Amino acid sequence: MNVIIIGGTGLLGSEAARELIRRGHTVSAIALPPVPSGADLPAEMSIHFANYLTIPDEQLRTCLDGCHGLVFAAGIDERVEGSAPIYDLFAKYNIEPLKRILGIAQSCDIRHFVIYGSYFSYFDKTRPKDELSRWHPYIRSRRDQEHMALSFSDDEHDIAILELPFIFGAQAGRKPVWVFLADMIRKMKPWTFFPKGGTTMVTVRQVAQATAGALEKNRGGQCYPIGYTNMAWKELLSIIHRYLGTPKKKTITIPTWLFALTGRHLRQQQTKQQIEGGLNLAKFAALQCSNQFIDRSLGCDRLGVEPDDIDRAIGDSIRASLAYLDHPDRFVEMKAD
C-alpha cells in the first residue's frame, strides 16, 4: 500500500511512518518545515513540505496521486486558547481542511483513511449525562469532525477514527506536549496536589501500531477508542516524580469541589483576557476527577496493538520536557501552520 501522512514529520506521524515501512508499505508525507534537529525520520519516507491548510488543490492532487491510504495526523488539540468562539479555530484546523482533503483524496481513488481524534469523543458518547459536547468547544469540534469524516465512508471507502488518549514518548528536537505538566509538578512544593481519578494511555509506538492496523484491517466507517494502560493519577504522578528526580515526593488528593473551584477561577481569568479555551474548566471537574479508562479490547486488541514499556515512554516525555525547560532555543515549537 502507498500511504501518505498529513503531518508525517511530527512525533506521531513519523512513528506511524516507521511502522508502516516496517510492514512493507511505501510512505510519503505532507509536513511543515523545519524538521527538528536530530529527529529520527525514516530515510525511506519522501516528504512534501507544504501547509495542509493552504496547499492548492492541484498540488495536493499531485501529492495524493497513486496513494491507496491516507493518515491525517495534523491539527490542534484542547490546550489551544484564542478569541471566542474558540470552536471556530478548531473548525479551521481540524474540520474544514480535513473535509477538503477527504474529498480530493477520494477523487484520487484513495480508499483507506485513518484520522487522529480524541478520547474525549468516546467519553462524550458513553457519558451523555455529562453533556461534554455542550460545555467544551474542543470536544464538540471532535464530535463534529467525526460525523463529517464518517459521512465519507461507503462500500469503497474505509474511514477509521482513532480516539487517542494520553500519549507518551518524545521526538528529538521537538517541544514535547508534556512541558506544561512537568513544569507545573516541578513547581509544586513540598507536595503535588492533584484530583482523584485516572486516565488511559498509550505509547507513541502503540499509536503507530493502531494506525497501521486501522489501514490494514478497518472496513467501513468506524471509531476506535484507543487505550492500553489504565492508571490512577496518583500512580502516574509517582512515575513522573521519579523522572523529575523527586521519587519521595508525595501526592495529596484534592476533592472534586476544590478542583472545580480552581477551574472556575481559571475560567474567569480567561474571560478577563477575552480568550476562550477548548475545555470549559469550570465544567471539566466531573471528567477530570473520574477514571477515564478504556478497555483495550475496544480498539487496541482489534487493531493489533502490542504491549510496550509505558514507564520508559513516560520517562522519555519528562526528560525531553525538562530539556526544553532548560534550553527552549534548541527545540522546534509545535505548530499547525
Domain range list for the chain: 2-254+261-330
- Kindly report, residue by residue over 90-125, the tens digit of the pLDDT: 999 999 999 999 999 999 999 999 999 999 999 999
Instruction: Tell me the average pLDDT of the chain.
Output: 96
Q: What is the CATH number of domain 2-254+261-330?
A: 3.40.50.720
Cα 236 to Cα 200: distance, rounded to the nearest angstrom: 10
Rounded to two decimals, the pTM is 0.96
- Kindly report, residue by residue over 79-98, the tens digit of the pLDDT: 999 999 999 999 999 999 99
User: What is residue 44's predicted lDDT score, i.e. its pLDDT?
Assistant: 97
Q: What is the mean pLDDT of residues 65-79?
A: 97
The larger pLDDT score, comparing residue 37 to residue 23, is at 23
Q: Which residues, in sequence order, are CB contacts of 214 under 8 Å at separation 6+?
A: 114, 160, 162, 224, 303
Report the chain's terminal Cα–Cα distance, integer Å: 28
User: What is residue 333's predicted lDDT score, i.e. its pLDDT?
Assistant: 82
Question: What dihedral angle (degrees, nearest 10) is formed by the CA atoms of 35, 40, 46, 50?
Answer: -20
Answer for the pair 35, 93: CB distance below 8 angstroms, yes or no.
no
Reading the block at residue 132, the C-alpha cell is: 461534554
Please check the confidence at residue 322 and state whether its pLDDT lies above 70. Answer: yes
Q: Which residues, in sequence order, are CB contacts of 18 under 8 Å at separation 6+?
A: 42, 208
- Kindly report, residue by residue over 169-186, the tens digit of the pLDDT: 999 999 999 999 999 999
The DSSP code for 74 is: -
User: What is residue 336's predicted lDDT score, i.e. its pLDDT?
Assistant: 66
Q: How many Cβ atoms from other residues are within 10 Å of residue 78's Cβ?
A: 19
User: What is residue 337's predicted lDDT score, i.e. its pLDDT?
Assistant: 63
Q: What is the mean pLDDT of residues 209-234?
A: 98
Q: How far is CA 9 from CA 27, 30, 40, 50, in A?
A: 12, 8, 9, 12
